[in-house]
Structure formats: C-alpha cells, structure tokens
Amino acid sequence: MKDKAVGAGRIKNMRRRTRVTVVCAVLLLAAVLVAGVLLGERAVQTDFSRKNVTPCIPYLFGTDWMGRDMLARTLKGLSTSIFIGILASAISALVALVLGTMAATLGKGADAAITWLIDLMLGVPHIVLLVLISYALGKGFWGVTVGVALTHWPGLCRVLRSEILQIRESTYIGVARQLGKSPWYIAKTHIFPQILPQFLAGLILLFPHAILHEASVTFLGFGLSPEKPAIGMILSESMSYLSTGKWWLALFPGLALVLVVVLFERIGNGVRTLLDPASAHE
Amino acid sequence: MRYIKFLFQNLVKMATLLVGVSIVAFTLVSMSPIDPVQANVGTLGYMRMTPEKKAEFASYWGEDVPPVERYLNWAGDFIRGDMGISLKYNRPVAEVVSEKFRNSLLLMCVAWILSGVFGILLGVIAGYYRDRWQDRLIKGYALLLASTPAFWIALVLLMVFAVWLQWLPVGMNVPIGMAAAEVGFLERLRHLILPAAALSLTGVANIALHTREKMIDIMESDYVLFARARGERGGAIVRRHALRNILLPAITLQFGSVSEIFGGSVLIEQVFSYPGLGQAAVDAGLGSDVALLLAITVVSTLFVFCGNLIANVLYGVVDPRIRRGGYER
C-alpha cells in the first residue's frame, strides 16, 4: 500500500515538473520576443566611441566594429528568428495535416502521389532546396519564410499519415460508417481528436528545425538583408572579425541561439508527455 | 528473384524522383524575378561566349521561349552530359561540378566515417550504462549537439584551434598563394582536419541516440539475460551479443543520413572557405549562375538517393521481411 502511495506522489511530481518546465520555457521565450521588439532601436544604434568593447557589465555581449550593442542585436535577431520560426512551422504543420489526411483517406492514387512527393522533398538536401526556393522568390524575408515553411512538412506528414491509417482500421470508425455518418463527420469527431496530441507536439518540435534552418540560410547570405539584425547575419558578419581575435561576436549570439532551440525542444517534448495518455503513469 | 524485383522497384522510384526533382528545380529557378540572361550580361563569362553558346543559353533561360520547351532543351542537353557553361567560374559546369565534388567527397567521407564510428561507440557505451553518469553525459552531449547549428560549431573550432591556439590553418584546402598541384598530401590533410571535425561532431548526435535506444533494447532482451546467467560479463556481452545486432542497422542509418552530411558540408565549407560543392552552390545561388545551381541540385540529389538506395538494400539484407514485402507499407 505504502509503495503505491509513494509511486503516485512521484508521478504527480513528474507531471508537475514537466508542466513547470514548459511554462518557464514559454515565459523565457516570450521575454526574448518582447525584449527583441523593445530593443529594436538600440540594436541598430551605432556609436563609434565604444566600438569593439570586450564583454563587460554595461555591454554583456560586448559591442561590434560599429559600436552596436551585441546583446541588443542578439535579442532582436532572436525575436526575428522566433517570429519566422512560428510562422513557418505553423504553415508547415497545416500542410502536413492536410496532405497527411488526404493521403490516408482519399484512396490509393492520392496516397501514392503524396508519398512520392514526400520522398521527393526528402531526397533533395535540405539546404540546397532552401537555397533554390529563396532564389526563386528573390531572397529576403519571404524567401526564407516560405522556404522554411515549404520544406519542413514531410516528416510530420509521414507520421500523421500512418497514424490516421491506423485509426481508420479501428472498429468504431467502421461502426460510424455503417451508421451512415459522413466522412467529414468521422474525420471531425473520431480522427482529429485522436491525432491532436501528435499534431501539437509535432508542430512545436518543428520550431527548432525551422529556426536552425532560417539561421543557416541567412548565414549563407540568402535570407534577411544585412541591415536587419538576424542571428545568421550576425554570425556571418562576425566571420571577418574572428581572425583578429573578436571572439565574443560569434560566441554569445551562437550560444543564445542554441539556448532558444533547446527551450523549444523542451516545450515540445513536455507537451507531448503531458498530452499523451499512455505516458500519464511515467 | 524477389530481391532483383525489389532492387528494380527502388531504381525505378529513384529515376522518377530524379526527373521530378529536376522539374521542380527548373520551375523554381524560372520563377525567380532575377532574369539569368539579364543578370549575366555584364559578366566576363557571358561576354566571351560565342554566338551559338549565347543562343543556347537563351534557349534555356530566355523569357521569350515557352517554359516547357526551355526545360526540354535543358534536360536533353543535360542528359547528354552538356550541363552548360558556368558563368561564375567561366568554365563548363560539368568540369566545375566534378572538381568541386571531389573536394567535397573527401571531406564528407572522412566526416561520415568518423561520425559513424564515434556515434556507434558512444551509443553502445550510453546504452550499456543506461541511466548512469556515462549515459547522462553522452545523452546530454548528443541532445545538445542536435540543437546546435553546424556552422556555429565550425566557428567555435575555428576560433579555438586556428585563431587562439594557431595549431591549424584558418581555411581553404591549400595554403594561400600556392597552386593546388604542388601541395603535398600532408598539407591537404592539415586543412581538412577542422572542417571534418566540425562536420563529424554534429553528425555523431543522431546515430549515437539511435544506437543507444537499440542497445537498451538488447540489454533488456532474454538472450542477454541468459548470457548473464551463464556468467558472461560486460565486454563479452557487448562483443558477442550486442555489436552483431547493432552494427548493421547503425550502418544502414548512417547511409540514410547522407542528406544531412551534405547539408552540413554546405555550411561548413562556407565557414572554412573550403572549395567544395557546397560553396559552389552558394556562389551559384548568390551570383545567379543558374546552370551551375541546377546541376548541383541534380547531382546532390543523385548522391542522396544513392545513399538511400544503399540503405534500402542493406535493410533488405538485415531484415528479410522487408525484402519479401517490397518497400514501405
């Protein structure tokens, strides 16, 4: 008896801890987003009297060769990245949902076509595809956002498709069909609620990839324009100053980017654990 | 017989996908608001072109030719091996691609092998010591690396080993001011260390995590329990029971990760100014060198497909059920 009680206490703690982690991570990301918006002015302010300052108390991340505050630039860049990441992964997840549902419900032809499309997308190296799309759209903000949005759906789409295929085999769907319910009704009441946890977790877990790819494409020079502070831009500019020993230009913005990605990863995994009834006892 | 059919199916799928990729890539390039003819009129390469070549160039990219016809013109010549002229490098595309690809291949092979060996090793250790400090350390490292952009790792390595400690050269694959031909093998190797290290450091994460999962399954299996009951200890269990079951799936996974290695190499080549295919792709994209960009897309896709094909074939070798049931569900 006693053992059971102790076990139950730990389960509660585990779930509570996950919940606390998720809430903290969301708050931290929101803070970065707000700080980036508020610091927009400061991020582009140049002041040649304080250029190339090594990290110290007023300038935690140091300043660059034009005397811009690197902390402000980093936060501004991160908030742009997070914004693009959210937009792109939302679009990507929607595409995945629509195509995955179509593949699983519209019969063999549609399934074959969509599976082929997924293989096609996964066949081209990701970065090359992003370069192509952003070239097609004439580079810039939309080039990156559309590129990232159009290239991240295949993985999630595959998962959703096989999930829906499995659900379709279950008896209650058969019963609903025999009762003469319409396909839309079945999808709405029997299928979507079932795949919702997968979908939400998948959506959030797209963020890290989206942000990393946005940074990569911008780093290569296809993304946002140089005057906009973006993490990729900051890092690619820092390259020309590394050999003269300005290590802080690359180190801290990169670390901040890693932190944001890790936070999103945490949120995604946390949400998945919380929503998945099978792991309620872990 | 079934096996041949399985192979054949895979090859057909590969061919249709390759055609699909070339159509999509061509469409994307044609959609661009940047007109390649206009963008390249001023370049040296375009001015030196013979009138016939100019006509050929316009037949691929000219505004006044219908898109389908343009694609067929381009694809027809491409299959025959004429990939057009790279305006950026002022040489035939085929020549540029093969030269750059050889440089990249060296880098990717080294990184691929290193990340495979270390990934499997770390995965086995982590799985064997599940939930002990060794496992936590390795798992933490792998998860952290999975969220780290490859080019930033490259930047950090560059700062530490090339700028700060000055042990290794900053970039390129030959010392500045030397012709490629007169550079010795050792010098080349020295220039390869940092890019290869950066590429393998990030490549390790995925395979280590996978091997760890597999290793945990094996350590919980009945045959390991039985081996323990017979009195076998650590090293012997890993050698006799675990490694055999882990190696093939891990190698298969590693073949499937060719796409990621290629993507990583694009970024890392940019950091180290390593003259490989990735750098050429970036140059082509930024400089509107459409012929080169398309050729690189097709070649890199073919490269990825070959990796996937080997992975699929290996799956068949490892698991007869897949061979019999054809591929996928």
The answer, yes or no, to whether residue B59 has pLDDT greater than 70, is no
pLDDT interval class at B242 (50, 70, 90) = confident
Distances, alpha carbon B219 to alpha carbons B180, B207, B233, B236, in Å: 51, 18, 12, 13
Average pLDDT for residues B305-329, to the nearest whole number?
68
Kindly determine whether residue B301 and residue A125, on different chains, have CB atoms separated by under 8 Å.
Answer: yes
The H or E element spanning position B92 is: strand B91-92
The whole-number pLDDT of residue A1 equals 39
More confident residue, A96 or B95: A96
Query: In B, which residues are within 8 Å of A265 by CB distance?
Result: 143, 146-147
Query: In B, which residues are within 8 Å of A258 by CB distance?
Result: 144, 147-149, 152
The fraction of chain B above a pLDDT of 90, given in percent, is 7
Query: In A, which residues are within 8 Å of B281 by CB distance?
Result: 128, 131
Query: In A, which residues are within 8 Å of B285 by CB distance?
Result: 131-132, 134-135, 220, 222
pLDDT interval class at B126 (50, 70, 90) = very high
For chain A, give every domain's residue range.
Answer: 14-41+66-281
More confident residue, B34 or B227: B227
**CA nearest B27 in A: which residue?**
A136
The answer, yes or no, to whether residue B234 has pLDDT greater than 50, is yes
The answer, yes or no, to whether residue B322 has pLDDT greater than 80, is no
The fraction of chain A above a pLDDT of 70, given in percent, is 85
Structure tokens at B78: 């491409």
The whole-number pLDDT of residue B172 equals 55
The whole-number pLDDT of residue A9 equals 54
- Rounded to two decimals, the pTM is 0.83
ipTM above 0.85, yes or no: no
| Chain A contacts in chain B segment 196-225 (CB below 8 A) | none
Structure tokens at B170: 């900053």
Structure tokens at A62: 């140091």
More confident residue, B77 or B107: B107
**Is residue A111 less than 8 Å (CB to CB) from chain B?**
no
**Is residue A237 less than 8 Å (CB to CB) from chain B?**
no
The answer, yes or no, to whether residue B20 has pLDDT greater than 80, is yes
The whole-number pLDDT of residue A138 equals 77
The answer, yes or no, to whether residue B286 has pLDDT greater than 90, is no
The answer, yes or no, to whether residue A2 has pLDDT greater than 50, is no
Average pLDDT for residues A80-107, to the nearest whole number?
89
Kindly determine whether residue A254 and residue B155, on different chains, have CB atoms separated by under 8 Å.
Answer: yes
The whole-number pLDDT of residue B181 equals 54
Which of the residue ranges B61-65, B152-156, B176-180, B218-222 would you say has the lowest mean pLDDT? B176-180
The answer, yes or no, to whether residue A243 has pLDDT greater than 50, is yes
Kindly determine whether residue B285 and residue A135, on different chains, have CB atoms separated by under 8 Å.
Answer: yes
How many CA atoms are closer than 13 Å to the CA of B49, on its beta-carbon side?
Answer: 24
CB of A239 within 8 A of CB of B273?
no
- Residue A214 identity (one-letter amino acid): E
The whole-number pLDDT of residue B326 equals 47
3-state class percentages of chain A: helix first, strand second, coil last, to nearest 5: 80, 0, 20
Name the H helices within A187-230. Answer: 192-220
The whole-number pLDDT of residue A12 equals 62
Name the H helices within B32-162. Answer: 36-40, 44-47, 51-61, 67-79, 93-128, 133-146, 150-157
The whole-number pLDDT of residue A5 equals 46
pLDDT interval class at B274 (50, 70, 90) = confident
Average pLDDT for residues A163-180, to the nearest whole number?
88
The whole-number pLDDT of residue B70 equals 78
Average pLDDT for residues B48-65, to the nearest whole number?
68
d(CA B258, nearest CA chain A) in Å: 9
The fraction of chain A above a pLDDT of 90, given in percent, is 6
Judge: domain B96-326, CATH 3.30.910.20: no
Structure tokens at B113: 């092998």
The answer, yes or no, to whether residue A95 has pLDDT greater than 90, is yes
pLDDT interval class at B122 (50, 70, 90) = very high
Burial class (CB in 10 A: 0-12, 13-18, 19+), A129: buried
pLDDT interval class at B114 (50, 70, 90) = very high
Average pLDDT for residues B54-78, to the nearest whole number?
73
Q: Is B65 left (phi over 0), alpha (psi -120 to 50) or beta?
A: beta
DSSP per-residue string spanning A82-96: HHHHHHHHHHHHHHH
d(CA A264, nearest CA chain B) in Å: 10
Structure tokens at B123: 């995965």
pLDDT interval class at B327 (50, 70, 90) = very low
Q: What span, in angstroms and rounded, lies between the C-alpha atoms of B238 and B242?
A: 5
Average pLDDT for residues B147-169, to the nearest whole number?
82
Average pLDDT for residues A4-33, to the nearest whole number?
74
**Is residue B104 less than 8 Å (CB to CB) from chain A?**
no
pLDDT interval class at A3 (50, 70, 90) = very low
Which of the residue ranges A95-99, B122-126, B186-190, B296-300 would you say has the lowest mean pLDDT? B186-190
Highest mean pLDDT (candidates A201-210, A270-279, B115-124): B115-124
The whole-number pLDDT of residue B119 equals 92
Average pLDDT for residues B83-90, to the nearest whole number?
75
For chain B, give every domain's residue range.
Answer: 2-92, 96-326
The answer, yes or no, to whether residue B146 has pLDDT greater than 90, is no
The whole-number pLDDT of residue A279 equals 61
- The CATH homologous superfamily to which domain A14-41+66-281 belongs is MetI-like (1.10.3720.10)
The answer, yes or no, to whether residue B319 has pLDDT greater than 70, is no
pLDDT interval class at B35 (50, 70, 90) = low
The whole-number pLDDT of residue A106 equals 81
The H or E element spanning position B86 is: strand B85-86
**CA nearest B296 in A: which residue?**
A128
The whole-number pLDDT of residue B61 equals 67
The whole-number pLDDT of residue A84 equals 87
The whole-number pLDDT of residue B325 equals 52
Q: Please, what is the end-to-end C-alpha distance for chain A in angstroms? A: 19
pLDDT interval class at B118 (50, 70, 90) = very high
CA A16 to chain centre: 24
| Chain B contacts in chain A segment 122-141 (CB below 8 A) | 122-128, 131-138
For residue B92, list its beta bridge partners. Answer: B85
Residues B177-186 pLDDT 10s: 555 555 666 7
More confident residue, B315 or A183: A183
pLDDT interval class at B323 (50, 70, 90) = low
Mutation target for A interface from B147, B168, B201, B301: give the one with most A CBs within 10 A. B147
Option in B149, B259, B296 nearest A212 (CB)? B149
The rounded mean pLDDT for chain B is 81
Kindly determine whether residue B282 and residue A135, on different chains, have CB atoms separated by under 8 Å.
Answer: no
